Structure 1
Amino acid sequence: MIDFLRGQVAHLESEYVVLDVHGVGYRVFCPNPYAFSAKNQETVTVYTHHHVREDAILLFGFSTRDEQKLFRKLIEVSGIGPRVAMGILSGGNPDTVVAAIHQENISFLTKLPGIGKKTAQRMILDLKDKLEGMGGTASLFDPEPAAASAFQDGNPGWPEAREGLKALGYTDMELDRVWSKLKDQVSQDEAVDSVMKKALKLLYAG
């Protein structure tokens, strides 16, 4: 199993990053590839999950061990495959996702990409006792007022996307500036992961 890769970012796309490790380019699918955009020409560490199935061998990558660990727990839940788990991590940082599971916050979980009520209930049932020591102390915002406020600005998924971007190290000032550019480019029903990726692209472009 490939547990991590260390190298330079050679290429970025909306779903993956290509990491140059001693002249070999590894395509690594990431929740938010643009999180690595500011690290061009620097040596970066990408924590990975090596996924093997009959028709493909894939690498999924993460910027932290917590993301990697939560991803591996998520794909143990019936109905959650690697792609859905990636969507969950793109829509919420590990602390808030773990907190939602511990607090049995179905309202929050069902706002994550690809998660319906039954899957949210399975996440709580299967994982609540398996996430000890994984953060989860985050104070979750009340989704209804936040969503209503964001809806007036164009998209109800922005508060969750903003929380994820803050977890990546972006400041309130940077996020306010990028939202002023982004709010006219997203639809009212656009998914959180899509909003986040568009925001990261704008942040990367400066």
Structure 2
Amino acid sequence: MFEYIIGKVTYVCPAYLVLETNGVGYLIYSANPFRYSSKLNQEAKVYVHQAVREDAITLYGFKDFDEKQLYLKLLSVSGIGPKSGLAILANEDHTGLIQAIENEDTAFLTKFPGVGKKTAGQIVLDLKGKLGDLGIEEMGSYGREESQLSSDTHIKEAIEALEALGYGAREVKQVEKELKKNPKESTDAYLREALKWLMKK
């Protein structure tokens, strides 16, 4: 139904952002809502996918058209739901994801929460050779987030975002220790670092 929504970012939290347009605030789930932090109370364009179930109508947001198309292709795979699709997109190395699929690297794919060996194999089977038309770039933010929050608060928000994506308590505890070793300037930066570390471990 929707291709994108242009509006003012009025709220950002670990699982979603709120985009207000024409007096309506749209709750939009995102792989990394904190990349919109620098656009708080400013206008942003968010590409969206609307998922309709018997008990809910949900919006999922993406920074550009190609990121949305990658998400839709992931959803077409049996075993990949809206939440696990977001968790896969949260890793900003989308080129690495596509290369893993092309190289049938199921070990890489099983590092994502909710993706077991069977689902990883299905991703390769369904998507290999079908992602080359996407102009994928790294999942960027809208610029440096200016924040007066403490480093501990940024880490806490990043951890909450990981939990919202489906990462387990053991993984979260490990990555929290790593994040404390290297101070960052924003929640977005901490979350990006956490996702990179989780994919390398």
Normalised to the residue count of structure 1, the TM-score between the two structures is 0.69
Residue 8 of structure 2: aligned partner: 8
Structure 1 pair 112/169, CA: closer, same or farther in 2 (3 Å)?
Answer: farther
Where does the alignment leave 5 or more consecutive residues of structure 2 unmatched? Answer: 145-150, 160-168, 191-201
Offset at residue 108 of structure 1 (A): 1.4
Matches of 2:2 and 2:28 in 1, distance apart?
11
Identical residues among aligned pairs (%):
37
Residue 122, structure 1, aligned to residue 108, structure 2: no
Asked whether the 8 Å contact 2:32–2:188 carries over to 1, the reply is no
Offset at residue 46 of structure 1 (A): 0.3
Residue 201 of structure 1: aligned partner: 187
Residue 56 of structure 1: aligned partner: 56
Residue 190 of structure 1: aligned partner: 172
Q: Per-residue CA shift, 1:26-78, capped at 9, x if unaligned?
A: 00000000010011232110000011111111100011222101110011100
Matches of 2:170 and 2:142 in 1, distance apart?
26
Offset at residue 189 of structure 1 (A): 2.1
Offset at residue 188 of structure 1 (A): 6.0
**SS of the residue 1:41 aligns to:** coil
The code of the aligned residue for 1:126 comes to: D
The code of the aligned residue for 2:172 comes to: E
**SS of the residue 1:2 aligns to:** coil
* RMSD, aligned α-carbons: 3.5
Asked whether the 8 Å contact 1:110–1:116 carries over to 2, the reply is yes
Higher RCO (CA < 8 A, seq sep 6+): 2
Asked whether the 8 Å contact 1:95–1:135 carries over to 2, the reply is no
Normalised to the residue count of structure 2, the TM-score between the two structures is 0.70
Asked whether the 8 Å contact 2:34–2:188 carries over to 1, the reply is no
Offset at residue 94 of structure 1 (A): 2.4
Residue 21 of structure 2: aligned partner: 21
- How many residues were matched structurally? 167
The code of the aligned residue for 1:201 comes to: T
Where does the alignment leave 5 or more consecutive residues of structure 1 unmatched? Answer: 139-162, 172-177
Asked whether the 8 Å contact 1:47–1:68 carries over to 2, the reply is yes
